[in-house]
Structure 1
Amino acid sequence: MERRGFLKGTSAAGLLALLDPAYVRAREAFQAGSPPSQLVPKRPYGRAKDSISMIGFGGIIVMDVTPEQASRYVGEAVDRGVNYFDVAPSYGNAQERLGPALKPHRDGCFLACKTTEREAAGARGELEESLRVLQTDRLDLYQLHALTSLEDVDRAFAPGGAMEVFLKARERGQVRYLGFSAHSEEAAHAAMDRHDFDSILFPLGFPTWIKEGFGPSVHKRAQEGGKAILALKAMAHRKWTVQPEDRKWNKTWYEPFDQLDQVSLGLRFTNDLPVHAMIPPGHWDLFKMAVELAQAGALTPLNDAEREIVAAIAQDGEPIFEKKA
C-alpha cells in the first residue's frame, strides 16, 4: 500500500495497535488522570553547563492574555519543570506579560529573547527595551530572529550590523549565549559559516523533514558543531486548509496537530532526531498537552510502524516549508 493511502486503509483500532506499547501505557495513565510521574526532563544546553527543559515555553502563549493569566500560566509551567522561556518583541505584548510573570522565578529559568533588527542601532535599542520590559538585567540567550535570506545574514554581519551589538552585549554580561532562528536552510548555513553560535532555533517537524527533506542538513551540521538544537514546529502539520475565521488556533499561521496521538508522533519524531528542546505552538492548551506528555514519560522513540504512520501523514498535506532547489 502506498504511504498516502496507508492511513485511509487502516482502522482506528488498527492504528492504535501499531503504537509503541510504552507510549500507550504512558498515554493511558495520563488520560486516567494519574499524577505526573516526573517533572519535565531537562537536558544540557548544547556544550554549555546550563540545563534546559525539553519543552520550552513560547512567549506567544501569554500574548493578549491578562496579567493574572500570564502569572498563572508561567507559574504552572515552572511547577511542572519548565525552565526554558523564549520571547521576542515581534510577539505583540508577550514581553510585557512575560516579564512580571517570570520575575519571581527568574533565577531558576533560562530566558531567551530575539531581535529582527539587522543594524546595530536598531538591535541595541531593541535589546535594551527587552531587558527593561522583561524586568531582568541579563538574557541567557539572545538570537538573530527569523533569518530568511542571505541578505539578512549579510546585513547582520556587516560593519555596523546587529552582530556587533550581540558580541558587545556578551562582553558586558547582558547576554550569556548567542544564537539565531531561521526558516531557511540557506540562511541557517550562512549564519553558521559566519559565527560559532551556541544554539540554533529551527523548524524540525516531520512533515517538512520527510516530504521536503527540509532540515536534515542544518540539524546534522549543528549536531556536529556541538550546538544546542532548539526545535520549532514539532507539532506543525500543514498549511491551513480553512479560512481564518474558521480556525480553532488563531495564534498559529499553520495548522497544528491537536489530537493527542498525532501531537505525540510529532514530538516523538523531533525529540528522537535528537534535539535539546522543543517549543510547542503558542496556545496554552497545546503547550500543556506537550508538557503533560513529557511528564508522563510518553515521548518514547518511534517504532517502525509509527514511522510508517508519520511518513503517510507527511505525504497528506501541503508542507509549511519547502526545500530550496
Structure 2
Amino acid sequence: MIAKRPYGKKGDKLSIIGLGGIVLARLPQKEADAIAREAFERGVNYFDVAPTYWDAEERMGPAIKPFRDKIFLACKTAKRDAKGAQEELEASLRKLQTDHFDLYQLHALSNMQELEQCFAPGGAMEVFLKAREQGKVRYIGFSAHSEEVALEAIKRFPFDSALFPFNFVTLFKGNFGWELLKEAPKRGVTLLALKAMARTHWQEGAKRLEKCWYEPITDPKLAELALRFTLSLPNVTAAIPPGDENIFKMALQLGERRFRRITPREEQQLRAEAEKLTPIFARAA
C-alpha cells in the first residue's frame, strides 16, 4: 500500500502519490472508473483536478463517487475575480458530485498582477474565505509556476498548502524552488509537488504524449530516483505524477515500494543527470 503523510492542521493524511485528474481526461467513463478504483484500492487517497483539464471533472465525479468520503479531493479555479470563482466553484462541485472540496486552490498563479487581482476587493479570495465558512472548502491553497509569486503568496496569506514544481532538474540545474523549500516550513505551509517526474522540454519532432506538455521520465530506474528525490525534500507531503495513464501506473508501482530517502550517492547521480538537461523551469538570473 502507498504510504501516507500528514497534511494541514486538522489531522488529514495524504498518500505520497496523488492522482491528477488529467489522467482520467478524454477516457471512456468505464476506463476512468477502473483507473480511479485501482488507485484507491492501492492506497491513493489524494485526488486533484481542475476545470481546465478537458473533461477531467466529468470523468472523475462518477469515478470517485463510491468512495468520495474516504478520499481527500482537491480542486482549483483559474478565475481571479469573485464572480468567476464562485461560478466555477459551484460548477466543479456539481460535476464532481460532491458538497465540498477538501482543498480548493488558486490555479497556476503566474505573475504578481494575478495575485493582486485575487486579493483585491471583488477578487477570488473573497469566494475562498466565504466557501470555507460555509463548509464547501476545508483547506485553502494555490498552485504556481513562479517561485517569486509563490513566495509572495505565502507571505500575504496563511495558505494551507502550495502545489509547486519540485524536480531534480529544476532544482539542480535551474536553481528553481530552493527558496520556497526554505520559506514554506517557517509559515506552516505544506508543500505538494508537481513535475517530480519531468525530464526536459520536448525535442523538435519528438513523438509527444497528449497529456504532457514536457518530456516525462519513462525509464523506471530514473523515475524511481526522481520521485524519491522529490519526496525526500523537506516538508513535501505528496507528488502528483504526469498526466499520461501509463506513466501514472508506473508511479503507482514505484509508490508502493517501501519509501527510502534519497542517499547522497543517488543525489550525485541525479546532479550528473541534471547537468545534461534543460530544466522546464529555471530561476531568473
Query: Is TM-score (shorter-chain normalized) higher than 0.5?
Result: yes
SS at match of 1:276: strand
- 2:239 is equivalent to residue 283 of structure 1: no
- Aligned match of 1:29: none
For 2:161 and 2:250, the matched residues in 1 are separated by: 25
Alignment partner of 2:275 out of 315, 318, 321: 315
The structure that has the greater radius of gyration is 1
CA distance in 2: counterparts of 1:231 and 1:48, whole angstroms: 20
Shift, 1:288, TM fit: 1.5
Structure 1 position 305, deviation (Å): 2.3
Unaligned runs of 5+ in 1: 1-38
**TM-aligned CA deviation for residue 315 of structure 1:** 1.1
Structure 1 counterpart SS, 2:43 = coil
Report the Cα distance in structure 2 between the residues aligned to 1:152 and 1:180, rounded to whole angstroms: 12
- The separation in 2 between residues aligned to 1:101 and 1:66, in whole angstroms, is 11
**1:122 equivalent in structure 2:** 84
Distance in 2 (alpha carbons) for counterparts of 1:210 and 1:224: 23
Q: Distance in 2 between matches of 1:175 and 1:254?
A: 31
CA distance in 1, matches of 2:264, 2:181: 22
TM-score (ref. length: structure 1): 0.86
**What is the aligned partner in structure 1 of residue 141 from structure 2?**
179
Asked if 1:46 corresponds to 2:8, the answer is yes
Instruction: Specify the SS of the correspondent of 1:98.
Output: helix
Percentage of matched positions with identical amino acids: 52
Deviates more, 1:219-228 or 1:168-177: 219-228
How many residue pairs get aligned? The number is: 284
CA contact under 8 A between 1:46 and 1:276: conserved in structure 2? no
| TM-superposition CA deviations, 1:247-293 (whole Å, max 9, x none) | 2x221111111111110111011111131000000112111211211
* Bigger RCO (CA 8 Å, 6+ sep): 1
Query: In the alignment, does 2:15 pair up with 1:57?
Result: no
Give the whole-Å Cα distance in 2 for the aligned partners of 1:112 and 1:57.
10
Q: Which of 145, 148, 162 in structure 1 is aligned with 2:107? A: 145
State the SS of the aligned residue for 1:154.
helix
Give, in whole Å, the separation in 1 of the partners of 2:143 and 2:14: 17
Task: Name 1:133's counterpart in structure 2.
Answer: 95
Whether contact under 8 Å (2:154, 2:189) holds in the other structure is no
Q: Which amino acid aligns with 1:142?
A: Y
State the alpha-carbon separation in 2 of the partners of residues 273 and 42 from structure 1: 15
Corresponding position of 1:324: 284
Distance in 2, Cα, partners of 1:234 & 1:90: 21
- CA shift at 1:242, angstroms? 3.6
Which of the numbers 71, 82, 101 marks the counterpart of 1:109?
A: 71
8 Å Cα contact 2:173-2:278 kept in structure 1: no
List aligned pairs for 1:2-41, cutoff 5 A.
Answer: 39-41=1-3
Pair 1:293-2:254 in alignment: yes
Give the alignment partner of residue 225 of structure 1, picking from 187, 192, 195. Answer: 187
Which ranges in structure 2 are unaligned for 5 or more consecutive residues?
A: none
Q: Which amino acid in structure 1 is aligned with residue 93 of structure 2? A: L
Give, in whole Å, the separation in 2 of the partners of 1:242 and 1:309.
Answer: 27
1:199-278 equivalent positions in 2, closer than 5 A: 199-243=161-205, 246-247=207-208, 249-274=209-234, 275-278=236-239
Q: Distance in 1 between matches of 2:268 and 2:188?
A: 30
